[in-house]
Chains A and B, each alone.
Chain A
Amino acid sequence: MIQLESLTKQYGPTTVVDGVTLAIASGSITVIVGTSGSGKSTLLRMINRLIEPSGGRVLIDGHDTSATPVHLLRRKIGYAIQGHGLFPHRTVGENIATVPRLLGWSAARIQARVDELLRIFQLEPAEFAAKFPHQLSGGQQQRVGVARALAAEPAVLLMDEPFGALDPIIRGKAQQDLLDIQRRFGTTVVLVTHDMDEAFHLGDHVAVMSQGRLLQYDPPALLLTRPADPFVSRLTGTADRSLKLLSLTTAGEAAEPGVGEGPSVPAAASLREVLSDLVWSGATAATVMRSDGTPAGRLTLAGILARGRAG
Chain B
Amino acid sequence: MRRLGLLLRLAAFSLLVAFLVMPQRFAPLFAPFTEYGAPPIYDQGSLLALAAAHLGTVFLAAAASTVVAVSLGILVTRPSGAEFLPLSRTLVGIGQTFPPVAVLAIAVPLVGFGETPTLIALFAYGLLPIFENTISALQTCPSSVIEAARGMGMSSRQRLLGVELPLAMPLILEGIRLSVVINVGTATIGSTVAAKGLGEVIIAGLLSNNTAFILQGGLVTGLMAMLLYDGMAGLEKRLLRAVHVG
Partners in one complex: yes
Chain A residues with CB under 8 Å of chain B are 48, 50, 70-76, 79, 81-91, 98-99, 102, 132, 145, 148-149, 158
Residues of A within 8 A of B155 (CB): 71
Centre residue among B144, B150, B151, B154 by max chain A CB count within 10 A: B151
Q: B245's closest neighbor in chain A, by CB?
A: A89
Instruction: For B167, give the chain A residue with the smallest CB separation.
Output: A89
CB distance from B203 to the nearest CB of A (A): 47
Q: Is B185 an interface residue (CB 8 A)?
A: no
| Alpha-carbon distance A246/B151, docked complex (angstroms) | 37
**Which 7 pairs across A and B sit closest by C-beta, in order of nearness?**
A85-B148, A74-B153, A79-B151, A75-B153, A85-B144, A71-B153, A83-B144
In the complex the two chains form, is B147's CB within 8 Å of A102's CB? no
Given contacts A73-B153, A84-B144, A89-B243, 9 further A-B contacts (CB under 8 A): A50-B151, A72-B153, A74-B150, A85-B147, A87-B145, A87-B148, A88-B145, A88-B245, A102-B153
Asked if B245 contacts A98 (CB within 8 A), the reply is: no
| CB-based contact A87/B163 at 8 Å | yes
**B178 CB → nearest A CB, Å:** 23
Q: List 26 A-B contacts (CB under 8 A).
A: A50-B147, A50-B150, A50-B151, A71-B153, A71-B155, A79-B152, A81-B144, A81-B147, A81-B151, A82-B144, A84-B148, A85-B142, A85-B145, A85-B149, A87-B163, A88-B145, A89-B166, A89-B243, A89-B245, A91-B244, A98-B154, A99-B152, A99-B153, A102-B152, A102-B153, A149-B152
A132-B144 contact in complex given A73-B153, A79-B152, C-beta closer than 8 Å: no
Contact B151 A74 (CB under 8 A): yes
Q: Given A102-B158, A132-B244, do A86 and B153 touch, yes or no (CB 8 Å)? A: no
Chain A neighbourhood of B147, CB < 8 A: 50, 81, 85
**Cα(A86)–Cα(B155), bound, Å:** 17
- Contacting A at CB under 8 A, from B101-129, are none
Measured CB to CB, the closest approach of chain A to B144, in angstroms, equals: 4
| Interfacial chain B residues near A72, Cβ < 8 Å | 153
Using an 8 Å CB-CB cutoff, how does the interface string of B148-172 with A read, 1 for contact, 0 for none?
1111111100100001001100000
Chain A residues within an 8 Å CB radius of B142? 85, 88
| Known contacts A72-B153, A74-B150; A90/B244 CB under 8 A | yes
Instruction: Map CB proximity to A onto B173-192 as digits: 1 under 8 Å, 0 otherwise.
Output: 00000000000000000000
